[in-house]
Structure 1
Amino acid sequence: MNFEYAKDSKEQRPYEHYLNAYREMDPKEISGRTGIPYDEEKGLFTVKLMGSTYQVSFPDYEIHHVEDWAKVYPLEEAMNAKILIVRFLTERSAAPASGKFVTYHDVPWGEVYFRQFQGRCLFRLAFGYGNKLPVFRKIMEHLGAKKCSEGDCSYELEFMDNLYVKFILWEGDDEFQPSAQILFSDNFAVSFAAEDLAVVGDISINMMKALEKKLS
């Protein structure tokens, strides 16, 4: 599967930092702040990510998926996903969505990190699926995403509970290269920093690539 693992301290050290903080926290406080359900008797959080449900233990942070139709489970296997979620549990808070979507430029510090986001997410999405719209549709339908009207092909996906990402593609041809846009529900800016949103895009596209292999 096309998932990223911690190969050096660049990912391992942040992971250990947040993991240590997580283990020292009150799980009830985490649940109240993030809105993620916690079963005190079992010592488990129930986390939803890209349509799949995971049981996350406290304080060990052991992760196990609930078997479903997806057959691809990044939160179990991808270090960037593990860091994103443990960081959310330790530092972030849930916020309601207004129904509006914003570009990466619109979030605080988005302009500073845009070049990274463009390379890691927009270009990968455009050149990965801009000339393979039927494959993109199949993946999005498999994930239960909602079809939208923007661009030549677009879908809205619930990344986590009440946090939505919209993927928009414009098909390439002999004259123009394919292009893409990724929009975020406006509550993402409350729950995550700009650097985190690049990881959200990265996890999502890695999931698409893994599903493409599964569905082919």
Structure 2
Amino acid sequence: MNIPYEKNQKDRVPFEIYKKQFAEADPVLLSAVSGVPYDEETGVFTVTLMNKQYAIHHPDYEVNCLDENGGYAPLVTDIETKILVIRYLLEGKKAAFKGDFYAYADMPWGRHYNDVFQGRCVKRLAFTFGFKLDVFAKVMESIGGEKLSVGDAGYEFAFLDNFKLQFIIWEGDEEFPPSAQILFSGNFASAFMGEDMAAVGDISIGTLKTLAKDL
């Protein structure tokens, strides 16, 4: 495959490879393995990402946001989000949410990448909202987050379909910096690998930051 160099080639090249795999795959089988609903009549998979529903067409992976309220729809425009979701469709295995949550380090491969995840995601969450808990509360409620009685501000929300996250923040002050914790529902281990879950953190926090601008 002859793909010309572009500024975002690091992401675009693997995306083109995944798109080819997606086009060649049996969508009925993908649906059966991943648990993502597929309509054979329309050729459409349906996923819900951070409280917005999307239609993904097979075989071309054309994505449309079905949310009538509009607003920011990362799966339509963001390459990192597109890669994460197409990998979910190609490689994920359906698993029920059983109410259990784990830190990144507690996942099967988590200890190998935990230091990177802490800097890339946990500290980013803390310093993005650790001095703005009111904004954090509003933006979490805007995506259907449920308030938790832990930390100075904590919310549980559905990231993708029945894969859930808990974001917990302890407020910073003049003496101590803010801190945070990110917990993943146990079924994440069936559908995502370590790098994917770092992308989950990136996408979640990036989406919250974008939504916060409109509050």
Shift of 1:34: 1.3
Would you say the 8 A contact 2:151–2:170 is kept in 1?
yes
1:29-60 Cα distance to aligned partner (Å, 9 max, x none): 01111111111111111111111000100000
| Equivalent in the alignment of 1:212 | 212
Q: Which amino acid aligns with 1:75?
A: L
Moved more, 137-146 or 11-20: 11-20
Q: Which amino acid aligns with 1:193?
A: M
Shift of 1:97: 2.0
Residue correspondence of structure 1 range 14-163 to structure 2 within 5 A: 14-69=14-69, 71-163=71-163
Would you identify which runs of 4 or more consecutive aligned residues in structure 1 move more than 3 Å? Answer: none
Identical amino acids, percent of aligned pairs: 49
Distance of 1:143 and 1:110 partners within structure 2: 27
Distance of 1:42 and 1:34 partners within structure 2: 19
Residue 191 (1) aligns with residue 194 (2): no
Distance of 2:33 and 2:9 partners within structure 1: 29
Would you say the 8 A contact 1:52–1:68 is kept in 2?
no
Number of aligned residue pairs: give it.
210
- Shift of the 70–164 alpha-carbon distance from structure 1 to 2, 3 Å rule, reads farther
- Shift of the 188–70 alpha-carbon distance from structure 1 to 2, 3 Å rule, reads farther
Q: Which amino acid aligns with 1:106?
A: D
1:151-197 Cα distance to aligned partner (Å, 9 max, x none): 11000010112110000000011211000100000110111111111
Shift of 1:66: 0.8
Would you say the 8 A contact 1:70–1:143 is kept in 2?
no
Q: Give the secondary-structure state (helix, strand or coil) at the position aligned to 2:213.
A: helix
- Shift of the 147–68 alpha-carbon distance from structure 1 to 2, 3 Å rule, reads farther
Name the Cα RMSD after superposition: 1.2
The TM-score with structure 2 as length reference comes to 0.94
Distance of 1:70 and 1:122 partners within structure 2: 29
Distance of 1:16 and 1:7 partners within structure 2: 15
Distance of 1:116 and 1:68 partners within structure 2: 37
The TM-score with structure 1 as length reference comes to 0.94
Q: Give the secondary-structure state (helix, strand or coil) at the position aligned to 1:97.
A: coil
Q: Which amino acid aligns with 1:102?
A: Y
Moved more, 14-23 or 131-140: 14-23
